[in-house]
Amino acid sequence: MAEVETVKNKQVLLKDYVTGFPKESDMIISTENTISLKVPENSNGVLVKNLYLSCDPFLRSLMQKPKPNSKSVFPGFKPGSPIHGYGVAKVVDSGHPKFKKGDLVWGMTGWEEYSLIQQADSLFKIEHTDVPLSYYTGILGMPGITAYGGFYEVCHPKKGEKVYVSAASGAVGQLVGQFAKLMGCYVVGSAGSKEKVDLLKNKFGFDDAFNYKEEHDLDAALKRHFPEGIDIYFENVGGKMLDAVLLNMNMFGRIAACGMISQYNLDEPEGVKNLIVVIPKKLNIRGFTASDYFSLYPKFLDLVLPHIREKKITYVEDIAEGIESVPAALIGLFSGRNVGKQIVVVARE
């Protein structure tokens, strides 16, 4: 039997299940693993070199001890094992007919230097490389499809409608706002710093924006920005913000919910008190995740790639260097330290 090349494989391990606000020390950078750069015989997996890792708020839900009967889309992290999430990677060896050595892919991967991905069917092959490769963690990856599916398919927007986006400078929000402007909507975003508010107004073209941390009365802030009410709310936050939004929704308004980041680190979630208005206002609240719209990925690319090339859509990334920066980058999402889509570069090629 030929000798198989193995290499050292730096990994990000979960130290123990997380409760409350996650800390950098909940993860460990381990240098103890080695990995073969060949897929096992008779495997249809692919062996990849990870390039860009996508820090996303939903990963918080995978850090905690799974509840009995919980129905999660993704398996939770296991203490002592590498964490996983979306990323961009290069195929080093393939047992899968769809992929060959040298292909670039994006999808779920281990958060380590090299990964053997057994469910290679779930990977997307990257066909367009005239745009930054890192975009496949964001505008051209899971957050992009989230914004696209949520805005067009869930919200059914019409020209002139009033759109509110929370966490608006984040990976999904910045794109939703730009889609809304392309559609001819009036769009206001909220974020947690002056720098982010400036980005919303001056870079992403939102009609207006506000810093929610400076508003002691969110209901009043929304009434100021939406004197005619809100038709579409793109929900990334939950909790008190959702309660204030419900009071300002118009008849037959739509709320697309793909995240509630304000709630992820609470042991007991905040109660939403104004839910009853869904009846007289005939509101539609729909939860969704990007995977519901993966089948629309080619259609999505047809829409968004020309806009990127023509600079009609822009995208802001917050790039951390080196796998060692994963814990700080991931935890930073929950204090809003990132400005734009948070990415970690493991390797550039």
CB 263 to a copy of itself: min, Å: 5
Burial of 141 (0-12, 13-18, 19+ CB in 10 A): buried
Does position 287 bind a copy of itself by CB under 8 A? yes
Tokens 């990677």 appear where? 89
Q: Are strands 6-8 and 34-36 parallel, antiparallel or unpaired?
A: antiparallel
Does position 7 bind a copy of itself by CB under 8 A? no
Site string for a copy of itself, 231-250 (x = CB under 8 A): -------x---x--------
Site string for a copy of itself, 63-102 (x = CB under 8 A): --------xxx-----------------------------
Does position 295 bind a copy of itself by CB under 8 A? no
CB 322 to a copy of itself: min, Å: 31
- Report the phi/psi class of residue 239: left, alpha or beta, with left for phi > 0 and alpha for psi in -120 to 50: left
Distance in angstroms between the alpha carbons of the first and the last residue of the chain: 30
Specify whether the CB–CB gap between 340 and 318 falls below 8 A. Answer: yes
CB 30 to a copy of itself: min, Å: 29
Size (the chain), residues: 349
How many residues touch a copy of itself under the rule CB under 8 A: the total is 35
- Report the phi/psi class of residue 292: left, alpha or beta, with left for phi > 0 and alpha for psi in -120 to 50: alpha
Q: Are strands 249-257 and 230-235 parallel, antiparallel or unpaired?
A: parallel
- Closer to a copy of itself by CB, 88 or 145: give it: 145
Q: Which stretch binds a copy of itself (CB under 8 A): 15-23, 115-123, 256-264, 294-302?
A: 256-264
Does position 296 bind a copy of itself by CB under 8 A? no
Contact residues for 274 (Cβ-Cβ < 8 A; gap 6+): 243, 246, 247
Q: Which stretch binds a copy of itself (CB under 8 A): 13-21, 47-55, 117-125, 252-260?
A: 252-260
CB 10 to a copy of itself: min, Å: 31
CB 173 to a copy of itself: min, Å: 15
Number of neighbours of residue 65 by Cβ within 10 angstroms: 11
Site string for a copy of itself, 21-60 (x = CB under 8 A): ----------------------------------------
Among 43, 118, 211, 274, binds a copy of itself (CB under 8 A): 274
Does position 284 bind a copy of itself by CB under 8 A? yes
Among 130, 268, 310, 349, binds a copy of itself (CB under 8 A): 268
Inter-CA distances, 132 with 118, 128, 202, 215, Å: 27, 9, 22, 36
Does position 276 bind a copy of itself by CB under 8 A? yes
Inter-CA distances, 222 with 226, 243, 246, 250, Å: 6, 11, 10, 12
CB 60 to a copy of itself: min, Å: 12
CB 69 to a copy of itself: min, Å: 8
Specify whether the CB–CB gap between 13 and 31 falls below 8 A. Answer: no
Q: Are strands 317-321 and 341-345 parallel, antiparallel or unpaired?
A: parallel
Positions touching a copy of itself (CB under 8 A) are 61, 71-73, 238, 242, 251, 257-260, 263, 268-289, 292
